[in-house]
Structure 1
Amino acid sequence: MLSLLGDWRRTHYCGELNGKNTGEDICVMGWVHRRRDHGGVIFIDLRDKTGLLQLVLNPEISPEAHSIAEAVRSEYVVAVKGKVEKRPEGTINENLPTGEIEIIVKEIKILNNAKTPPFQIEENTNVGEDVRLKYRYLDLRRPNLQKNIILRHNLTRTMREYLYGKGFLDIETPFLTKSTPEGARDYLVPSRVNPGKFYALPQSPQMFKQLLMISGYDRYFQIVRCFRDEDLRADRQPEFTQLDMEMSFIDRQDLMDLIEGLFVEIFQKVAGITVQRPFPVMTYAEAMEKYSHDAPDTRFELFTKTINDLVKDCEFKVFTDAIKEGGIVKAINAKGAGKFSRKEIDEITDYAVSLGAKGLAYIKINEDGLQSPIIKFLGEQLTHRILDTMDAKVGDIVFFGAGEKSTVNLFMSKVRLELGRRLGLIDKNKYNFTWVIDFPLLEWDKEEKRYAAVHHPFTAPVDEDIPLFDTDPLKIRAKAYDLVLNGSEIGGGSIRIHRSDIQEKMFNILGLTKEECDLKFGFFIEALRYGTPPHGGIAFGVDRIASILAGADSIRDVIAFPKTQKATCLMSDAPNKVDAKQLKELSIKLDIIEEK
């Protein structure tokens, strides 16, 4: 069978060549990045996944190759044979890894031509993301995206090698599973051979990895695709990748030690960054008090503080009404923000309002006194007590938020980050890892009027808190832990419930009847009765970790074929309609009014 390549075989990738290869005869293949005709001599920048390489086609050296090169255009696929030579003095490109050499071409073969692409295949392009996603196969040729995808490969390779070295087994779990509607909506898959019944795509392999512990495989992991049918944001995708792991006969500290070693290795091998351990540990209560968020960015020290006790009897109704209704009043001292103009203060206030705040009170400490519309309600003595509590000095502004607890924590955490950006306090070259522990096990669902699991119903309670199931469930702490990096939760997990009696207590407090438990988790509850070891695990968002390491603005920049925020693929036009025959085979009848 004849081959277009014939006896042509690539000897090197473009970006591998340098001055050490001078004088060698080589064969390279790739895409024409740029072609320049300098009045006889033609220069071509050839590109592959490793970088760019300059080709020189001189009609005096190879008239035939020069003639072929005259027909070459951008994105043509070519193969080239030639000799590596040093570039003439004064023409070295210091910004290019291959910039000290060029290839004097002896032969060139056009392997395929190309239409003019809809945008330039350049490091940076100002074309809209919709166009880039429609032509993703071209977008992925851009050098920065290729670096991101290769970085992601190096990330998952490092994860695998580290865990293999720690005795973990890479075990697959099913994609077609049982629907257990908890948390986000499931993606459902109809079963043709079981009409009227559906599989669900897994939101995580939670129960299966616990079953593997029951089965005696005491160190499991997989890098696995997960699926959630939820409203999307910039850093969410309907299908995403997790590093999922579980271990038996361990407690929280064992897992934390192993994970810290993993991330030291990841950052060193993938990004050349040295990470110090042990990582700081913070309780959930401390994170919510000081940062108003359970994934705190600890790269800068602007702290929030609850001041209910100080202001509960003051004359300012915004504060007192919030406290009477069970809410909170929080303050943050923006040190050095005294330079902010009134316009900037208004912008920060508007930002807080967009996040649910009713307003954002402030006290500005100037050289000539205090500036604030609320001092007249607080009085001089209380004002100074507040400023002393917040360690406020001349040149600072203390901002205040009041209202329902979760809303105040939301907007105050975002205001804190906005202040950090405006004051230049966030070092983008810094990587701060923080463990957050002792999360609440339960929360009260106002709509359902019942308790709900903060993480999932298999999270173990702290041992000494077990009696609180019968007296004060909301005070039960979970054996849960999150790993936070620069204000992003990159992973979370817990020690699991391994005793069936504790698991039944958990299901009872969640208001699940025996019938509901059997329907949703029957096989799992039965498995717990057959000798379950103590075990725990964690899962990490591979997409998010890759985007942080790559310095990408969105996780879409580290995913080869991502979906849009409407969960569509502009390139393949998924999801799409299917024909009536397919639906009939699945015993499905659609009840949708077609838009005209």
Structure 2
Amino acid sequence: MHAYRSHTCAELTKDNVGEKVRLSGWVHRVRDHGGILFIDLRDHYGVTQVLCDPDSAAFADVEKVRSEWCIRIDGEVKARDPELINPKLPTGEVEVFVREIEVLGASEELPLIVFGDQEYPEETRLRYRYLDLRREVMQKNMTMRSDVVASIRRRMWDQGFREYQTPIITASSPEGARDFLVPSRLHPGKFYALPQAPQQFKQLIMASGFDKYFQVAPCFRDEDPRADRSPTDFYQLDLEMSFVEQQDVFDTIQPVLEGIFEEFGGGHKVDKHWPQISYKDAALWYGTDKPDLRNPIKMQVVSDHFRGSGFAIFAKLLEQDGTEIRAIPAPGGGSRKFCDRMNSFAQKEGLPGMGYIFWRKQSPDSIAQERGITVKEVNALVKSGEITLGNEAAGPLAKNIGPERTEAIRQQLGLGVGDAAFFLGGKPKVFEAVAGRARTVIGDELGLTEQNRFAFAWIVDFPIYEKDEETGEVDFEHNPFSMPQGGMDALNGDPLDVLGYQYDLACNGYELVSGAIRNHKPEIMLKAFELAGYGEDEVKERFGALYQAFHYGAPPHGGCAAGIDRIVMLLADQQNIREVIMFPMNQRAEDLMMNAPSDPTNEQLRELSLRVVEQQD
């Protein structure tokens, strides 16, 4: 028999009854039932119930074991009594009577309990990650992650791609975040960088004549942490293709991701139709370039209804250039209580409040006041059918702008009795993000957002440039390596009008994919960087290899990258990306388990010709 096990803790069934077996694993929990000891023995594969009574020679040793001790047991497989069968376990029809036990690894008192669903502070979970990872949900998450990566690789190979590895130590390159710099021992005073992405290398692979490339690539960015973003490193499915247009990239990645979400999505609906929405429309309709299309709410511009109106705040605001008023429809939100809650939400977001109108069934009181008759007379007219109670608008805004304007707003938004609308105004870039968050809250609270569904959308036509409001200088707003729509001709006009062949894929409010058709012509590349204030010498210095390669017959090419950590987070139905990363950093980009970052020794600093200078307050 094998030194440690004849079976895993998930394999035994009633077919094994009567067999002598050997199992190894961890003591999940111990139960004492009147002198008979029951142990749930757990390994990576499952759980088997083992038991021991005083008749066994091993009883005294079994009495000593505690939770999370690692043990080996020898015993006999017995059938459970019918009333004691556990249908939730694959091994629930049997149990193993212990004849011999060996303690492979005793455990001290645990800083966190593996059994059960107790919540522990993040600091405790990350400091003792090896214990946290023993928990059932973490085992499932990490197994799913491994299976997702394996499935991605198979699907890419099936589409004719080959996987090529790119360097981990390279030169610094601006990809939109801070680099992690690595000092060079052989070249004192100079630094390598960990790659933010394989961007330039994969483009050089295309220039080298390899038609299709992919890689499950580690990327390193010194970023501020968020719930859906690691502060140090992450993995992405990176791909690039030659002789392609934008739609070719879409047609390549969609079946890969669609298949992954169908395979691992737990039966959730996976949308087959992935609409293409312009960046401009996404900002208008959803307040974000990563919209959650499970929420049906679309925001609209309603500025004309407030120009010259009795609501002075909006009317005066619209006299300024570049301002507008947007409405967030809220079907089913037509109560003062809900409107007040949303107003409080806006105040927590740093706004004075959020204007609203809600529509309710017209009351006899309001008709009586309007017609100058009594409520009793109104009720009589209603009963006789001479008057029909319609709807009326309520709320401070409705009173200020009057019934004609509120009715026009209602019709534009397609709302009715029991519905509401919320309003934000100013320069769109200032309030769009808050409007987007308000749309999300409204959809969630009113039950409009469809659960158990993965809804995808391509966001296209990104602007390449933006202007700094304070300095007036033009810089890149998005990927500087994207081909401008219209090529060189587009760059001869207003830079702020230039759109790129750049695209993102959004799913359920998260950005899953980002990519572009690349700018592969050196003269267009120089002009594109020139508009953002980068001279020819700087381009050659920072992107020399890429710029030079484009002089030797570079093919048109494009691709994208999909965030693996974020994909698995969605599939595992987790709200924080650390739940699907084996050994993540904390919010301060610290590894509490390995004590990183750590102080270098004086010898290490001398070898690197470095000196640490204390920061001055």
* 1:123–1:551 CA distance, 2 compared to 1 (3 A): farther
Query: Which moves more between the two structures, 297-306 or 276-285?
Result: 276-285
| 2:145 matched residue in structure 1 | 152
Q: Tell me the residue number matched to 2:395.
A: 372
Which residue of 2 is the match for residue 69 of structure 1? 62
Displacement of 1:50 in angstroms is 1.8
User: Which residue, out of 324, 341, 345, partners 1:347?
Assistant: 341
Determine helix, strand or coil for the equivalent of 2:120: coil
Partner of 2:459: 436
Residue 422 of structure 2 is aligned to residue 399 of structure 1: yes
Partners of 1:70 and 1:376 lie apart in 2 by 77
C-alpha separation in 2, matches of 1:531 and 1:64: 80
Paired with 1:13 and 1:214, the residues of 2 have a C-alpha distance of 50
Does the 8 Å CA contact 2:278/2:461 hold for their aligned counterparts?
A: yes
1:530 aligns with 2:530: no
1:110 matched to which residue of 2?
Answer: 103
TM-score w.r.t. length of structure 2: 0.90
Distance in 2 (CA, whole Å) between partners of 1:205 and 1:591 is 32
Counterpart position of 1:470: 492
User: Does the alignment pair 1:420 with 2:416?
Assistant: no
- Residues 356 and 411 in structure 1, CA contact (< 8 A), matched pair in contact too: no
8 Å Cα contact 2:227/2:575 also seen in 1: no
Structure 2 counterpart of 1:303, which letter? K
Report how far residue 212 of structure 1 moved.
0.6
1:361-418 residue CA offsets vs partner (Å, 9 max, x unmatched) = 0112122332222234323322222222112211111100012211221111100100
Task: Tell me if the contact between 1:493 and 1:539 (Cα under 8 Å) persists in the aligned partners.
Answer: yes
1:130 is matched with 123
Q: Distance in 1 between matches of 2:520 and 2:86?
A: 62
1:305-324 mapped onto 2 (5 Å cutoff): 305-323=300-318, 324=320
SS of aligned partner of 2:58: helix
Tell me whether 1:85 sits opposite 2:78 in the alignment: yes
Larger deviation: 331-340 or 551-560? 331-340
In structure 1, the residue corresponding to 2:32 is in which secondary structure?
Answer: strand
**Structure 2 matches for 1:216-231, cutoff 5 A?**
216-231=209-224
CA distance in structure 2 between the aligned counterparts of 1:167 and 1:24, rounded to whole angstroms: 49
Match of 2:243 in 1: 249
The one-letter code of the counterpart of 2:446 is L
- Take 1:356 and 1:470, find their aligned partners in 2: how far apart are those partners? 40
Quote the Cα distance in structure 2 between the aligned partners of 1:364 and 1:278. 34
CA distance in 1, matches of 2:408, 2:2: 85
Residue 123 of structure 1 contacts residue 144 of structure 1 at CA under 8 Å; is this kept in 2? no
Cα offset, 1:177, TM superposition: 1.5
Distance (Å, rounded) in 2 between the aligned partners of 1:313 and 1:10 = 82
Letter in 2 for 1:52: V
CA contact (8 A) 1:432 1:485 kept: yes
For 1:145 and 1:161, locate their aligned partners in 2 and report how far apart those are by CA, in whole Å.
24
Instruction: Verify: 1:17 aligned to 2:24, yes or no.
Output: no
What stretches of structure 2 of length at least 5 have no aligned partner?
364-391
Cα distance in 2 between the residues matched to 1:283 and 1:466: 22
67-76 or 78-87: bigger deviation: 78-87
Aligned length: 585
Percent sequence identity over matched residues? 40
Contact 2:129–2:583 (8 Å) recurs in 1 = yes
Question: Please, what TM-score do these two structures have when normalized by structure 1?
Answer: 0.94
Q: What is the letter of the counterpart of residue 202 of structure 1?
A: P
Could you say which residue in structure 1 is the equivalent of 2:561? Answer: 539
| Greater Cα offset, 228-237 or 318-327 | 318-327
**Pair member with larger Rg:** 2
Task: Compute the displacement of 1:352 (Å).
Answer: 2.3
1:567 aligns with: 589
CA contact (8 A) 2:569 2:580 kept: yes
Q: Secondary structure at the match of 1:267?
A: helix
User: Do the aligned partners of residues 448 and 85 (structure 1) sit closer, same or farther apart at CA in structure 2, a change above 3 Å counting?
Assistant: farther
1:3 matched residue in structure 2: none
Aligned AA (1:488): Y
Aligned counterparts of 1:171 and 1:447: Cα–Cα separation in 2 = 44
List structure 1 segments (4+ residues) > 6 angstroms apart after TM superposition.
Answer: none
1:326 aligns with 2:322: yes
1:484 aligned residue: 506
- Residue 509 of structure 1 and its aligned partner are, at CA, apart by 1.4
1:121 corresponds to: 114
CA contact (8 A) 2:271 2:456 kept: no
Aligned equivalent of 2:468, options 433, 441, 445: 445
Aligned mate of 2:604, from 582, 586, 590 = 582
Contact conserved, 1:46 with 1:53, CA < 8 A, in 2? yes
Q: In 1, distance between residues paired with 2:45 and 2:450?
A: 30
Pairing of 1:504-519 with structure 2 (within 5 A): 504-519=526-541
Equivalent AA in structure 1 for residue 293 of structure 2: T
Q: The residue matched to 2:244 in structure 1 has which SS?
A: coil
Equivalent position to 1:191, from 184, 191, 206: 184
Contact 1:466/1:476 (8 A) holds in 2: no
> What's the offset of the Cα at 1:435?
1.6
Report the alpha carbon displacement of residue 334 of structure 1 after superposing the two structures with TM. 0.5
Judged with a 3 Å threshold, the aligned counterparts in structure 2 of structure 1 residues 82 and 579 are, in CA distance, closer, same or farther, namely same
Partner of 2:47: 52
SS at structure 2 position matched to 1:379: helix
Q: CA RMSD in A?
A: 2.0
Q: What's 1:502 paired with?
A: 524
- Superposed displacement of residue 593, structure 1: 4.9
Deviations 1:336-355 (A, max 9, x none): 111351xx433322322343
CA distance in 1, matches of 2:506, 2:175: 24
Offset from partner CA, 1:530-586 (integer Å, 9 cap, x none): 111111111111111111100112000000111111111121221121222222221
Task: Output one character per residue of 1:446-466: Cα deviation in whole Å (capped at 9) or x when no partner.
Answer: 355332323221111223x65
2:227 is aligned with 1:234: yes
8 A Cα contact 1:290 1:305, kept in partner: yes
- Whole-angstrom distance in 2 between the partners of 1:278 and 1:302: 18
Secondary structure of 1:150's counterpart equals helix
CA drift at 1:135: 0.8
Distance 1:448 1:531, change over 3 A: farther
Q: Verify: 1:299 aligned to 2:321, yes or no.
A: no
Query: Which residue is equivalent to 2:368?
Result: none
Residues 355 and 423 in structure 2, CA contact (< 8 A), matched pair in contact too: yes
